[in-house]
Amino acid sequence: MKQYTGMYIIRPNATEEQVKAANEAIATIFTQDGGQVLEVAEWGIKELAYEINDFSKGYYVKFVVNATNEAVAEYDRICNIREDVIRHIIVRD
């Protein structure tokens, strides 16, 4: 397993329960394959550098995980499908 740092931006009109559900769902992606979530930092709502899907703000979440390549691929796949995630990235440390 390798260590990765990632970030995703949730649409700003999501409720607190929706944000919590998204965070839990994304953490589950990494823990179900034996990986571990080392750190999660919720930065809250911040201004975007440019509009994304007509949103000028977004709810930022940064995380650090130990994960397999399959879990990283699943993270990309799930974030592309989820309507509440407007941007995401993950890089190997």
Half-sphere exposure of 75 (CA within 13 A, CB side): 30
Q: Which of 6, 7, 23, 14 is nearest to 55 (CA)?
A: 14
Q: Which residue(s) pair with 9 in the sheet?
A: 60, 87
Q: What global pTM score does this model have? A: 0.92
Which tens digit of pLDDT belongs to each residue from 15-34?
999 999 999 999 999 999 88
- Residue 72 near residue 4 (C-beta atoms within 8 A): yes
Token duo for residue 70: 């399959």
pLDDT, position 34: 87
